[in-house]
């Protein structure tokens, strides 16, 4: 046990009283009784006055709540003051540490990408800035308010009041945002409301579902045709040889369609899963553009006028296979959507941003409302025409993907009935002029 510093001071006081008593006793014995008592009383009064004065000083110091200045006192009071002063300083330090920890915690919670609201019962105690954004709650102005008066979405109110918080719920806001909201109870009546923006995730999930549905649909049509003809052939053994030849022709046409679809799906999946195209490999664009011209002539088979303008000296760095696939799709579209007698013009040239490849046709054109959606998978302006010309609905999705991987953009200008111009614009470190 540490040595007490108060005890000797108390003992000093007791010694003073004993000394005063002894002096009074001696005076009473040798001089006069009354004088002895008087001396003893004066001694006690002096002691009392001293203690009252010290008590007064302590009271004033305590009232001031001053933790910095140390009070001046004597004897036992000096020790008491020192003890009180120390415990006050320790309490102040602890309080400051707690305040700092609370501030740090709040700053961390404020920086969270998810929304956090602390509820006491139904009342908002605190919320971070993300919760403000998600649930439109003001961290300062709305503190103390009932949350259901501010977040009035019926699903949320039902979830909060239902008390079953095992799973989060999804809320859709008016501006198209989708939130996942989870309530976590804690303490006596406290609850945490956590909100997360899952708009992107939800969109990806919807796209995935639509994609699977689209692929199934695209596959089912040729399969239905093939199995129908197979059935006919099986039942009609004696049939006309010409009919049988036609059925087989139609079946192989549908099989080719499925092949094209699978090939395009594989191209897309390779584009999605491959590492970025190399920055060290220069594509021989002169030869590639010439090849595009030759492919266009072969596809057109003399039905269109094909023009090629090929600037020399522009190098493109990246994957030759991907660029061939992207530009090849633009060329094949131009041929497929341009009636006989039309013109298709290919141009590889210097552009303000770097270099560009244009495919211009005098074909059927596209109405402006379709332009923003052209590169979506399976989006077609005219389903019948796309199918007739052997389209899979994936060509421009492949183009966009391959171009994005090369830091390039696709620009489309079109006038219905007059023609279209698709421009792949290359810029940045992938172009060398």
d(CA 256, CA 260): 6
Measured from the CB of residue 102, what is the shortest distance to ligand ADP in angstroms? 57
d(CA 68, CA 321): 78
Query: Using an 8 Å Cβ cutoff, are 225 and 254 in contact?
Result: yes
What phi and psi values does residue 196 have, to the nearest 5 degrees? Answer: -135, 135
Q: Please count the residues of this chain forming the interface with ligand ADP, following the rule CB under 6 A.
A: 22
The residue among 134 and 380 lying less far from ligand ADP, judged by its C-beta, is 380
d(CA 364, CA 334): 10
Does the footprint of ligand ADP cover residue 357 (CB under 6 A)?
Answer: no
Q: Is 42 helix (H, G, I), strand (E, B) or coil?
A: helix
Measured from the CB of residue 327, what is the shortest distance to ligand ADP in angstroms? 13
**Nearby residues of 310 by Cβ (< 8 Å), 6 or more positions away:** 286, 289, 290, 293, 346, 348
Measured from the CB of residue 334, what is the shortest distance to ligand ADP in angstroms? 5
How many residues are listed for the chain in this entry? 433
**Nearby residues of 136 by Cβ (< 8 Å), 6 or more positions away:** 150, 151
The residue among 81 and 405 lying less far from ligand ADP, judged by its C-beta, is 405
Measured from the CB of residue 237, what is the shortest distance to ligand ADP in angstroms? 38
**Nearby residues of 214 by Cβ (< 8 Å), 6 or more positions away:** 377, 378, 393
The residue among 135 and 366 lying less far from ligand ADP, judged by its C-beta, is 366
Q: How many CB atoms lie within 10 A of CB 211?
A: 14
- H/E stretch holding 423 reads strand 419-427
The residue among 71 and 395 lying less far from ligand ADP, judged by its C-beta, is 395
d(CA 322, CA 268): 10
Measured from the CB of residue 338, what is the shortest distance to ligand ADP in angstroms? 7
Q: Where in 364-423 is the site for ligand ADP (CB under 6 A)? A: 364, 366, 374, 379-382, 386, 391-397, 420
- H/E stretch holding 109 reads helix 75-111
Q: Where in 326-355 is the site for ligand ADP (CB under 6 A)? A: 329, 333-334, 337
Closest CA to 114 of 39, 43, 44, 196: 196
Measured from the CB of residue 225, what is the shortest distance to ligand ADP in angstroms? 18
The residue among 220 and 432 lying less far from ligand ADP, judged by its C-beta, is 220
The residue among 44 and 371 lying less far from ligand ADP, judged by its C-beta, is 371
The residue among 130 and 414 lying less far from ligand ADP, judged by its C-beta, is 414
The residue among 171 and 424 lying less far from ligand ADP, judged by its C-beta, is 424
Q: How many CB atoms lie within 10 A of CB 181?
A: 22
Question: What are the structure tokens assigned to 345, written together?
Answer: 């013009």
Alpha-helical (H) ranges within 274-352 are 285-300, 320-336
To the nearest 10°, report the CA torsion of 35, 39, 40, 45.
130
* Of 164-172, 278-286, 317-325, 357-365: span binding ligand ADP (CB under 6 A): 357-365
* Of 75-83, 135-143, 289-297, 362-370: span binding ligand ADP (CB under 6 A): 362-370
d(CA 251, CA 246): 9
Residues 275-304: x where in contact with ligand ADP by CB under 6 A, - otherwise, as a string: ------------------------------
Measured from the CB of residue 420, what is the shortest distance to ligand ADP in angstroms? 4
Closest CA to 267 of 222, 331, 218, 328: 328
The residue among 164 and 369 lying less far from ligand ADP, judged by its C-beta, is 369
Measured from the CB of residue 336, what is the shortest distance to ligand ADP in angstroms? 6
Measured from the CB of residue 337, what is the shortest distance to ligand ADP in angstroms? 3
The residue among 380 and 406 lying less far from ligand ADP, judged by its C-beta, is 380
The residue among 76 and 397 lying less far from ligand ADP, judged by its C-beta, is 397
Measured from the CB of residue 422, what is the shortest distance to ligand ADP in angstroms? 6
Closest CA to 327 of 428, 427, 398, 431: 398
Measured from the CB of residue 315, what is the shortest distance to ligand ADP in angstroms? 27
| Site residues, ligand ADP (CB under 6 A) | 329, 333-334, 337, 361, 363-364, 366, 374, 379-382, 386, 391-397, 420
């Amino acid at each position: 046990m540490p040595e007490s510093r108060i005890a000797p001071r108390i003992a000093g006081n007791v010694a003073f009283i004993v000394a005063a008593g002894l002096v009074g006793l001696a005076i009473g014995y040798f001089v006069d009784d009354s004088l002895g008592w008087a001396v003893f009383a004066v001694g006690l009064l002096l002691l009392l006055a001293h203690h009252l004065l010290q008590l007064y000083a302590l009271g004033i110091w305590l009232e001031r709540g001053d933790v910095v200045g140390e009070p001046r006192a004597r004897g036992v009071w000096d020790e008491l003051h020192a003890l009180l002063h120390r415990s006050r300083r320790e309490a102040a330090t602890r309080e400051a540490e707690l305040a700092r920890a609370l501030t740090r915690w709040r700053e961390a919670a404020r920086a969270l990408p998810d929304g956090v609201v602390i509820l006491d019962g139904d009342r908002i105690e605190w919320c971070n800035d993300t919760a403000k954004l998600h649930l439109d709650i003001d961290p300062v102005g709305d503190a103390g308010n009932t949350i259901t008066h501010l977040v009035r979405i019926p699903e949320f109110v039902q979830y909060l009041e239902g008390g079953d918080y095992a799973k989060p719920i999804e809320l859709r806001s008016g501006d198209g945002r989708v939130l996942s909201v989870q309530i976590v109870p804690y303490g006596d009546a406290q609850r945490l409301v956590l909100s997360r923006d899952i708009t992107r995730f939800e969109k990806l999930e919807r796209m995935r579902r639509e994609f699977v549905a689209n692929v199934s649909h695209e596959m089912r049509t040729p399969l239905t045709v093939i199995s129908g003809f197979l059935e006919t052939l099986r039942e009609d053994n004696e049939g006309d040889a010409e009919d049988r030849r036609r059925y087989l022709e139609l079946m192989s046409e549908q099989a080719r369609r499925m092949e094209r679809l699978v090939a395009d799906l594989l191209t897309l999946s390779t584009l999605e899963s491959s590492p970025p195209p190399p920055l060290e490999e220069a594509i021989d664009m002169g030869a590639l553009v010439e090849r595009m011209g030759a492919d266009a002539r072969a596809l057109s088979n003399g039905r269109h006028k094909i023009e090629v303008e090929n600037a020399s000296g522009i190098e493109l760095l990246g994957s030759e296979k991907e660029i061939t696939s992207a530009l090849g799709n633009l060329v094949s579209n131009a041929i497929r959507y341009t009636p006989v007698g039309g013109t298709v013009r290919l141009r590889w040239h210097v552009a303000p941003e770097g270099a560009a490849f244009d495919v211009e046709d005098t074909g059927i054109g596209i109405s402006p409302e379709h332009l923003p959606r052209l590169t979506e998978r399976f989006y077609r302006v005219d389903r019948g025409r796309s199918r007739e010309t052997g389209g899979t609905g994936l060509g421009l999705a492949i183009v966009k993907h391959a171009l994005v991987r090369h830091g390039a953009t696709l620009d489309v200008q079109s006038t219905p009935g007059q023609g279209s111009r698709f421009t792949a614009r290359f810029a940045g470190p992938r172009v060398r002029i």
